[in-house]
Amino acid sequence: MTIPNMTTQIDYFQQLLEEKHYTKDALDSSVALVSLAGNDYVAYIFTNGSPKDMSEFSKAIIKQLAMNLKRIYSLGVQKVGVIGLEPASCLPVNSNQTCSETWNRGSKFHNRNLKQAVKILNNEII
């Protein structure tokens, strides 16, 4: 089973809007909760085996995420919340009993850049 990426999910949402499934009042009182859970990072890690050079990859992820947030807003959802990444090596799926600060730096880097991108987006709409 293939799960659609975020951009495709927004395409589906836009189609629902075009088909008039939601009213402007419904959008005005809605909140979109956006979560990038980390599958892109997991794929990167399995492909590359280490967090080395992940910062450039992370910047590309944040750039696309910011475009997606902007698009959701432009579709009429004026309140958009976004969730940061959890400490990557501390997930229950991780077989280690301890968390690795090396791997967690990637989550911290992502969250710092995400916060900065959201701040920029917020300044653009004010």
| 57-80: pLDDT as tens digits | 889 999 999 999 999 999 999 999
Q: Which residue has the tokens 């280690």?
A: 96
121 found inside a domain: yes
Give a yes or no: residue 107 inside a domain: yes
- Residue 116 is given by DSSP the state H
- Domain for residue 45, yes or no? yes
Is the pLDDT at 125 greater than 90, yes or no? Answer: no
> The whole model's pTM is what?
0.84
How many domains does one find in the chain?
1
Mean pLDDT, the chain, whole residue set: 86
DSSP code of 22? S
Query: Is a pLDDT exceeding 60 seen at residue 93?
Result: no
Domain around 46 = 31-125
In a domain, 6, yes or no: no
Tell me whether residue 116 is in a domain: yes
CB 26, CB 75: distance < 8 Å: no
Q: Within a domain: residue 101?
A: yes
In a domain, 26, yes or no: no
